[in-house]
């Protein structure tokens, strides 16, 4: 049997085919590098996505807490201001049972979820009315009273920028008999010289001097730019009572009136004045700058949590001479 030789063309085709397969076969190192590069790209994309998701989650959590701070602050503001007089009356009854002195401010705190609310409810009519004081004694004596009552640490930050000139009411003569309606008319006729704390203090300097985020709050517990213009001597501090009484009577008489009131806290203001101030004209003048009731209140609310920025607000509820209630809200 004869074996037929393979054709030369067939042998050439087999060699070309083997060469082609050898060239097309991928190298193991190239595949590994490709896999590593793709893996790095995927890991990088997943890392960026995770970071973005984390940032969005933290931002959403901060926004949720801020919403809770705003909602809580607004709810506490409305509730406490509407019932401020009742809260102070209950607080006074408690102080009487415990033998404590009255105060123009009440401090408290409340925790809702992750947010803590530090509260300072204040009787604005029981604080020294700077507008009344300014219109009686002028700029320099008002500055001196602020430093004496608020403390020497506020002296570098005190910067009075009155909106109007002082009326010098102390130089005017008042009638002997002054009714409650006339007292309201007098208070209504006195324009506000200081309408915010920015017209009394340099807030930046006050913050640096006190080194506390609540420096303004703590420095104004006995001072006010609001209120009726009359001082409720039943809740006011001794310093505030003396500062306002010195407008009309001498320091010695002012101290005797104060001492008599402290020994007989239920005595009415006319009764106290009758025994210590013989001049009926001065008795009437004192009754125009003092009162025994309050209708104007304020509240500081400092809402803070472990994360996220704090929310600090100051709201004043002021009742004008016509009985209309208005609220002013300041964010600090």
Q: One digit per residue, pLDDT tens: the chain, 332 residues? A: 555 555 555 555 555 555 554 555 556 667 777 778 778 888 888 787 778 777 776 676 677 888 889 999 999 999 999 999 999 999 988 888 877 777 899 999 999 888 999 999 999 999 999 999 999 999 999 999 999 999 888 999 999 999 999 886 644 444 434 454 544 454 556 789 999 999 999 999 998 887 778 889 999 999 999 989 999 989 999 999 999 999 999 999 899 989 988 888 888 888 888 888 888 888 898 999 999 999 999 999 999 988 888 999 999 998 877 778 888 888 76
Please name the residue ranges forming H helices in the chain: 8-24, 28-82, 84-98, 130-137, 139-150, 180-189, 203-210, 215-219, 238-245, 251-263, 269-276, 280-289
Give the per-residue pLDDT at 31.
72
**Residue 127 and residue 291 in contact, taking contact as beta carbons nearer than 8 Å:** no
Round to whole Å and give the CA distance between 45 and 264: 79
Model confidence, pTM: 0.77
**Residue 162 and residue 115 in contact, taking contact as beta carbons nearer than 8 Å:** no
CA 313 from centre of chain:
4
Give the per-residue pLDDT at 200.
96
């Amino acid at each position: 049997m004869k074996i037929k030789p393979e054709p030369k063309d067939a042998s050439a085709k087999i060699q070309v085919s083997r060469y082609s397969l050898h060239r097309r076969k991928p190298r193991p190192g190239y595949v590994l590098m490709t896999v590593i590069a793709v893996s790095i790209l995927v890991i990088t994309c997943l890392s960026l996505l995770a970071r973005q998701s984390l940032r969005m989650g933290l931002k959403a959590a901060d926004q949720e807490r801020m919403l809770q701070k705003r909602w809580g602050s607004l709810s506490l503001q409305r509730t406490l201001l509407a019932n401020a007089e009742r809260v102070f009356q209950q607080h006074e009854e408690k102080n009487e049972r415990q033998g404590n002195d009255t105060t123009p401010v009440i401090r408290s705190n409340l925790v809702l979820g992750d947010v803590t609310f530090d509260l300072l409810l204040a009787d604005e009519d029981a604080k020294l009315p700077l507008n009344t004081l300014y219109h009686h004694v002028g700029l320099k004596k008002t500055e001196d009273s602020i430093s004496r009552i608020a403390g020497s640490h506020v002296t570098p930050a005190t910067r009075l920028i009155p909106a109007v000139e002082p009326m010098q009411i102390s130089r005017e003569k008042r009638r002997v008999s002054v009714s409650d309606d006339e007292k309201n008319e007098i208070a209504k006729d006195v324009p506000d010289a200081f309408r915010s704390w920015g017209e009394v203090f340099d807030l930046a300097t006050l913050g640096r001097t006190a080194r506390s985020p609540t420096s303004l709050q703590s420095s104004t517990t006995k001072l006010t730019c609001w209120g009726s213009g009359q001082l409720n001597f039943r809740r006011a501090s001794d310093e505030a009572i003396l500062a306002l009484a010195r407008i009309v009577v001498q320091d010695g008489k002012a101290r005797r009136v104060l001492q008599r009131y402290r020994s007989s806290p239920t005595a009415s203001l006319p009764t106290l004045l009758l025994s210590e101030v013989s001049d009926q004209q001065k008795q009437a003048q004192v009754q125009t700058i003092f009162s025994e009731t309050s209708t104007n209140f304020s509240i500081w609310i400092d809402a803070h949590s472990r994360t996220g920025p704090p929310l600090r607000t100051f709201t004043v509820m002021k009742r004008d001479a016509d009985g209309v209630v208005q609220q002013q809200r300041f964010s600090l």
